[in-house]
A and B are shown apart, each in its own frame.
Chain A
Amino acid sequence: MRPNQVFRHPLRRRHFLQLSGLSSMSLLLGGCSLPLLDTIVNKASEPLNQKVETLLFNPQKLAPEFPISAIEPNALLVNTYNFTPDINPATFHLKIDGEVHNPLSLSMAELQKMPLTSMVIRHVCVEGWAAIVQWGGVRLRDLLHLAQPKTNARYVYFESADGYYESWDLASAVHPQTLMAYQKNGQPLSVDNGAPLRLASPVKLGYKQSKWVTRITLVNHLLASKGYWEDQGYEWYAGL
């Protein structure tokens, strides 16, 4: 699949779900990549862990921010699950749809006209490393405010041009430090880091922070596909 094709013909949700359903089937049949005991341990403990994590998460609490001098430019490792899509920023549009009163399609120029939020925060990867990094972009809460979520919206799906997908709880998505970023360390976002637009937030682990985001969909309940890594066995909440 060519990245540009993905961009021009975004996967419809039905196809997207069919595809992810098929891929998780092949995963189960193909390799038994999750040993049975791990799955049992996870099934037994994740509901409790998720409850406690949600309770611990204070939607008003800001993650510590650092001075510009604290940025560690080489510490942020690039993790990509498949390929690096090449997106033309001039024709790029971010779609916001689902459980909203006012579905949107915004160009980069429109996004860059919105208030710019810059933050120097600690980006924490599930692998254990962390990097102090500056992100600049539009607060996701401002974008959702424009789209006017319906009262039943509870989760947010992010679809990326490389086929990556993620879902977040709404509270973390509207956290004041959750950005749709187009700047990194004072420079325009590079393609490797998710240009033209990526999710960036100190309140979730790195794998929740989708790069090359093309579509944001609000939903009432979590679908069978929760996220690329989550569907392979990683924790869904992954809050910090």
Chain B
Amino acid sequence: MNSLTPDKKSELRLTPKQAILARIFHWINLISLLVMMTSGLQIYNANPVFGGREGWHIPALFLLGGWLAGGRHWHFAAMWFFALNLLWYGIYILVNRRWKHRFVSSKDIKALQISQNNKRRAYAWHRLVYTAIIPVLLLAVFSGLGMYKPVQFHWIVDLFGSWQALRIVHFITVPTVIVFAIAHYLLGLKVGGQRLIDSMFW
């Protein structure tokens, strides 16, 4: 077995490592988002944003909660995990300055414009995409808060112009997150292979 040791060592060195707090954030974000989206679509079905009661309904397979009241229970329970998770993570990346080197930077934008190196370009795309989802997640919280408390936070509703506009924006975050999740997975795979993907989970 001794002969295997050098190989094992080099493998260890090559395995990307993610900070434990980043992995915790990623897990909670993934699970709470899944609950938020499925329970949100359950709420959506009570009166589809597009077309009202006669509008197209989301198939039951993608729903959580069984009926409107159940969907709301899940939605307003998971919102705490989802929103507070984003909050502590935001503080975390500010305090240890991860935001400076772990998210898209001007160097990535420059690479996308001029680099001929496909690996460098894929890496830049990867960083751009996972950075861009953060404002979308914050928008989901913000627009959701406006719908949850439209009197106490009526300025949020005013900002979106109308109730329907607010509903559309809140809803659009769902397909956006789904498209993001696919792109994020494929780009991660392209940049670092299955090992990079695994490193974000385990």
Answer whether A and B are interacting partners: yes
Question: Which residues of A approach B to under 8 Å, CB–CB?
Answer: 33-35, 38, 41-42, 44-46, 48-49, 53, 56-58, 61, 63-64, 77, 122, 124-130, 202-203, 229, 232-235, 239-240
Task: Chain A residues near B76: list those with CB within 8 A.
Answer: 45, 49, 235
A9 to chain B, nearest CB (A): 32
- Given the known inter-chain contacts A44-B77, A45-B77, please indicate yes or no for A232 contacting B69, CB distance below 8 A: yes
Q: Pick 11 A–B contacts, CB within 8 A, sort by A.
A: A34-B69, A38-B65, A38-B70, A41-B73, A41-B77, A42-B77, A77-B53, A124-B163, A125-B47, A202-B151, A232-B69
Task: Chain A residues near B46: list those with CB within 8 A.
Answer: 126-128
Task: Chain B residues near A234: list those with CB within 8 A.
Answer: 68-69, 72
Q: CA separation between A239 and B68, bound complex, in Å?
A: 17
**Chain B 26-60 against A: per-residue CB contact (8 Å), 1 yes, 0 no?**
00000000000000000110110100110000000
- Given the known inter-chain contacts A35-B66, A56-B149, please indicate yes or no for A126 contacting B72, CB distance below 8 A: yes
Closest chain A residue to B162 by CB distance? A130
Closest 4 CB pairs of A and B: A45-B77, A127-B46, A127-B47, A38-B70
Apart from A61-B151, A233-B70, A235-B76, 11 more pairs, CB < 8 Å: A34-B69, A38-B65, A41-B74, A45-B77, A128-B43, A128-B46, A128-B47, A128-B167, A129-B52, A234-B68, A235-B69
Task: Chain B residues near A229: list those with CB within 8 A.
Answer: 69
Query: Pick the contact of A240 from B43, B49, B80, B152 — CB < 8 Å?
Result: B152
Q: Check A124 against B73 for contact (C-beta < 8 Å).
A: no
Task: Chain B residues near A49: list those with CB within 8 A.
Answer: 76-77
A-side binding surface: helix, strand, loop or mixed? loop
User: Does B192 sit at the interface, judged by CB under 8 A?
Assistant: no
User: Does B158 sit at the interface, judged by CB under 8 A?
Assistant: yes
Closest chain B residue to A128 by CB distance? B47
Q: Check A57 against B152 for contact (C-beta < 8 Å).
A: yes
- Given the known inter-chain contacts A38-B65, A130-B163, please indicate yes or no for A124 contacting B150, CB distance below 8 A: yes
User: Does B98 sit at the interface, judged by CB under 8 A?
Assistant: no
Q: CA separation between A61 and B149, bound complex, in Å?
A: 12
A76 to chain B, nearest CB (A): 13
Q: Check A58 against B68 for contact (C-beta < 8 Å).
A: no
B52 to chain A, nearest CB (A): 7
